Amino acid sequence: MFLLILEISQKQSYIFSSNVLKDNIKNSALIAWVTSSDYFKKKCPQEYDEDLNLVYAGGGHTVLCFESEDAAKKFSSKVTESLMRDCPEMRVFVKIVKYCDEISPGENLKKLTSALEGKKSLRKSDFSQGTFGIEKIDMNTFRPVRVLTGDEIDISEQEKRIDRELLPEGYKNVTKFEELGGDKNSVNFIAVVHIDGNGMGKRVTDLYEKLAREKVSWDEFRKRIRRFSDGIDSDFKSAFKEMNEQIAAMLKNQGLEDLKLKENVMPIRRIITSGDDICFVSEGRIGIEASRIFIECLKRKENAEDKKKYSACAGIAIVHVKYPFFRAYELAEKLCSSAKSKGAAISPEDNGRNVCALDWQIEYGELGDTVEEIREDYRDADGNLITARPYVLEGPDVVGCVKYECFRKTIEMIKKDDTYARTKIKGLRSVMKKTKEHSDHYLDFNKMSKFKDCDRAVLFDAIESMDVYLEL
């Protein structure tokens, strides 16, 4: 027997190559489509049989098994030719290895993944076909777009089905960032959110080892690995749906008038919902709270196969609606990694696998290339860090762990207190970048001594976020 892995490389570059929302959604759907069993059935009907060949699929890659090397190569040749014709800008890698009966099924899959990584690191060739027919120029990306004739890729029904499953009844999705909400007479922000499950690689390894101890057959191994993979995808989509439903309930109860939405418009639009990899865009003021709700919904779920619950971290890039979208997504990814690093720091015994955390950044000007560079601007004149981000939703009470609830209470106290003019409160943000003595003097002079009881870094974050935050 031979194992084959097919993986789409540089997925983010492909998905976010355009600054047009509907293009991002379509590109994400294309990756899901071309790595699906339905695509293989359509393009390789003679070379592929789901019952015989599929091991599992998800997250932009698929693992298959074949009785012979020749059968695996025939499938590989056919499917990659189809991919080059259908999606010439997409980068795909395929690796085939012989199954070894002397080691466990899990070790065989590890060997397959390792072989693929070795192939990707070499990158002996990297090319794409210039054209397969009549083309036009996309006025957003300035790339050639093939004018499909006859054998078009029909992902519309698949997308509509997923949208029906995840979108609350009576609501509709937007196709432009500007439609997410806000007032055209003011500067609008959108929130680009990236959420990633914690410790999923370790869970896969643990499951491999468990199945090895049970000495399950290859067929039983395939069945249980697929159930594990399908369970992850289903649970994360379910959390997304529950988040949407909670926000829809608030909209129906007239609780989010500030969003100024058109009738029946959902202020959240999913872009990636693949396995434990989630990306969505929202009206800027609900991005932080929507992320919190998603993670809280996810924490209640349990995988059908390994019977373990989930934890996750989120990165939220809050940017102007015209900000380059690929850069915003890259920042959201980096902020998610920053949140995961916080988890690892406060819970080193499990590398932060059970810590849920949020990190965000607001684009008020030029941003650095890394989170570390950006955060260097958050030091006062004495060199002290005046931001408490990332915040922990769930984790141990240890030094260096600032809970999100602390931020939430602080910002709500500021927003609901009409004792002080907003200009006075915002002025404090600039003063806090000087020294603590300057801050204390400003508070005394403006009779704002109640803020002295607040954690200084949390107070700074709350003031900075007050214009782009709505409690949900």
Q: Examine the domain organization and report whether 186 and 270 are in the same domain.
A: yes
- 72: in domain: yes
Residues 385 and 439 in one domain: yes
The answer to whether residues 231 and 351 belong to one domain is yes
Which domain range does residue 406 map to? Answer: 161-468
Q: Residue 153 domain-assigned?
A: no
Same structural domain for residues 95 and 36?
yes
Domain presence at residue 154: no
Arithmetic mean of pLDDT over the chain: 88
Predicted pLDDT of residue 150: 40
pLDDT for res 143: 60
226 and 324 together in one domain: yes
Tens-digit pLDDT profile for residues 286-333: 999 999 999 999 999 999 999 999 999 999 999 998 888 889 999 999
Among residues 146, 176, 194, the one where a domain terminates is 146
Which of 5-14, 227-236, 444-453 holds the top average pLDDT?
227-236
> Do 22 and 59 share a domain, yes or no?
yes
| DSSP collapsed to 3 states, the chain | CEEEEEEEECHHHHHCCCCCHHHHHHHHHHHHHHCCHHHHHHHCCCCCCHHHHEEEEECCEEEEEECCHHHHHHHHHHHHHHHHHHCCCCEEEEEEEECCCCCCHHHHHHHHHHHHHHHHHHCCCCCCCCCCCCEEECCCCCCEEECCCCCCCCCHHHHHHHHHHHCCCCCECCCCHHHHCCCCCCCCEEEEEEEEECCHHHHHHHHHHHHHHHCCCHHHHHHHHHHHHHHHHHHHHHHHHHHHHHHHHHHHCCCCHHHCCCCCECCEEEEEEECCEEEEEEEHHHHHHHHHHHHHHHHCCECCCCCCECCEEEEEEEEECCCCHHHHHHHHHHHHHHHHHHHHHHCHHHCCCCCEEEEEEECCCCCCCCHHHHHHCCECCCCCECCCCCEEEECCCCCCCCEHHHHHHHHHHHHHCCCCCHHHHHHHHHHHCCCHHHHHHHHHHCCCHHHHHCCHHHHHHHHHHHHHCCCC
Residue 152 has pLDDT above 70, yes or no: no
Q: Between 133 and 387, name the one with better pLDDT.
A: 387
Q: Quick one: pLDDT at residue 183?
A: 64
**Within-domain flag for 152:** no
* 250: its two tokens: 């608030």
pLDDT per residue as tens digits for the range 36-52: 898 999 999 999 999 99
Look at residues 89, 117, 146 and tell me which one is the last residue of a structural domain: 146
The answer to whether 20 touches 75, Cβ cutoff 8 Å, is no
Same-domain check for residues 177 and 279:
yes
Summarised one tens digit per residue, pLDDT across range 335-379 is 999 999 999 999 999 999 999 999 999 998 777 788 999 999 899
Domain shared by 185 and 59, yes or no: no
- Do residues 438 and 297 share a domain? yes
Last residue of some domain: 99, 114, 146? 146
363 in any annotated domain? yes
Q: Are residues 279 and 398 in the same domain?
A: yes
Tell me how many domains the chain contains.
Answer: 2
pTM recorded for the entire structure:
0.90
Res 400 pLDDT > 80: no
For residue 155, pLDDT over 90 is answered with no
Tell me whether residue 397 is exposed, middle or buried, using C-beta atoms within 10 angstroms of its C-beta: 0 to 12, 13 to 18, 19 or more. exposed
Residue 151's pLDDT is 45
Half-sphere exposure of 268 (CA within 13 A, CB side): 30
Residue 110 lies in a domain: yes
Q: What CATH number should be reported for the domain holding residue 405?
A: 3.30.70.270
191 and 63 fall within a common domain: no
The answer to the question of residue 377 being in a domain is yes
Whether residues 123 and 262 share a domain: the answer is no
Q: What is the model's pLDDT at position 418?
A: 78
pLDDT band per the 50, 70, 90 thresholds, residue 203: very high
pLDDT higher than threshold 50 for residue 149: no
Tell me if 155 is assigned to some domain. Answer: no
Query: Tens of pLDDT along 259-292?
Result: 878 878 899 999 988 888 899 999 999 999 999 9
